[in-house]
């Protein structure tokens, strides 16, 4: 399989998706500030290339699962921005009828298994989805995302061991955005090479420039091929960066404004793809403006839909505790 040489149309789709995530998250931040979104809200701004690049090479039926920083993953895999925003605002029209919120959203039809609020818990669960793929012999791959902070949780290595032992079709995607809440990686990890964390379990790994969507897609395709060939798990360390705080309530005093500004100016994943589109495919400013307008309309529609949707009926308190 080689999906990594992309046409202009495909590149424009990647650009569109990354920009959608960026604008959607900016709107979510705004709605949070206005009190429409409550609780914890972890924005994905800066990391867009990771999920968009991986989604570009996924095959139909492949699954993904991640932590609480999940809005980007949902938009990338094709979930409806209106329903995501409705969930963020606690409305009945949201993916979880308003009962999950920002950190707990799911779409079985799109193969999105959440949305998990406990750091690292999604890693063995993702390995379990891959286990089910193997059990059902369906040649699907589960992309299991977690941060470099979660990579210090013990259950991650329990999952690594079983995934390798049983050759489960799972790609472990470590989104290394360099800060686990307020603690930089060098203050929390004995090594900086996250991609090598699986070596003790015989799991190959690779570090990837997670700010370049094309690099992401290329390496993800390679990792998925490895899984589909029955070779077991693969680790991709996506070197990325989040521009915003850990959550909305994080003033981000643990790093300088200059550090963030430098990444934004020099490594921004959307700007990078935009440059390629201008240089190689001669996309005009007018075309970019049209894309901007289109995305703005989608985000506005999502926001309007959410804010005009009803809260769940009080009877919903008692539903879905148990499946029928």
Site residues (vs another protein, CB under 8 A): 63, 65, 94-100, 104-108, 113-118, 121, 123-133, 135-136, 154-155, 157-159, 161-162, 165, 319-324
> Which is closer to another protein, CB of 29 or CB of 117?
117
Nearer to another protein, 19 or 162 (CB): 162
CB of 164 to another protein, least distance (A): 11
CA-CA-CA-CA torsion sign (53, 59, 60, 64): negative
Q: Measured from the CB atom, is 163 or 220 closer to another protein?
A: 163
Rg (CA), the chain: 19
Q: Nearer Cβ to another protein, position 63 or 189?
A: 63
CA distance 219 to 270: 19
For residue 178, give every residue at least 6 positions away whose Cβ sits within 8 Å of its Cβ, in sequence order, or none: 148, 184, 185, 241
C-alpha closest to that of 66 among 188, 238, 209, 183: 238
Minimum CB distance to another protein, residue 215 (Å): 28
CB nearer to another protein: give 154 or 251. Answer: 154
Whose tokens are 């949201």? That residue is 94
What DSSP line would sit under 29-94, residue for residue?
HHHHHTTSS-S-----TT-HHHHHHHHHHPPTT-EEEE-S--HHHHHHTT--HHHHHHHHTT-TTS
The SS3 of residue 97 is coil
CB of 46 to another protein, least distance (A): 27
Q: How far apart are CB 228 and another protein at their closest, in Å?
A: 17
Select 101 or 245, whichever has its Cβ closest to another protein. 101
3-state helix, strand, coil in the chain (%, to 5): 50, 10, 40
Least Å distance, CB 39 to another protein, is 13
Q: Least separation, in Å, of the C-beta of 110 and another protein?
A: 11
């Amino acid at each position: 399989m080689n999906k990594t040489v992309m046409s202009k149309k495909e590149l424009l789709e990647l650009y569109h998706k990354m920009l959608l995530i960026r604008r959607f998250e900016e709107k979510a931040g705004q709605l949070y500030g206005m009190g429409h979104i409550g609780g914890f809200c972890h924005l994905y701004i800066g990391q867009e290339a990771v999920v968009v690049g991986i989604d570009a090479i996924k095959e139909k039926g492949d699954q993904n699962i991640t932590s609480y920083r999940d809005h980007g993953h949902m938009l990338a895999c094709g979930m409806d921005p209106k329903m995501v925003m409705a969930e963020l605002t606690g409305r009945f029209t949201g993916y979880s009828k308003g009962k999950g919120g920002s950190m707990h959203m799911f779409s079985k039809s799109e193969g999105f298994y959440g949305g998990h609020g406990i750091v690292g818990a999604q890693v063995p669960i993702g390995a379990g989805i891959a286990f089910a793929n193997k059990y059902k012999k369906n040649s699907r791959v589960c992309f299991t995302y977690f941060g470099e902070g979660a990579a210090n949780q013990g259950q991650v290595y329990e999952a690594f061991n079983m995934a390798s032992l049983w050759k489960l079709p799972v790609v472990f995607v470590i989104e290394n955005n360099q800060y686990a809440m307020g603690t930089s990686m060098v203050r929390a990890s004995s090594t900086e090479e996250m991609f090598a964390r699986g070596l003790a379990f015989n799991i190959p790994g690779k570090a990837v420039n997670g700010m370049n969507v094309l690099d992401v897609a290329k390496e993800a395709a390679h990792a998925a091929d490895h899984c589909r060939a029955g070779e077991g798990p693969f680790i991709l360390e996506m070197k990325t960066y989040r521009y915003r705080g850990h959550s909305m309530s994080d003033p981000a005093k643990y790093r300088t404004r200059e550090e963030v500004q430098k990444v934004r100016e020099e490594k921004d994943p959307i700007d990078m793809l935009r440059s390629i589109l201008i240089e190689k495919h001669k996309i005009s400013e007018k075309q970019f403006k049209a894309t901007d307008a289109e995305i703005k309309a989608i985000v506005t529609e999502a926001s309007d839909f959410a804010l005009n949707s009803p809260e769940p009926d009080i009877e919903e308190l008692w539903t879905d505790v148990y499946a029928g």
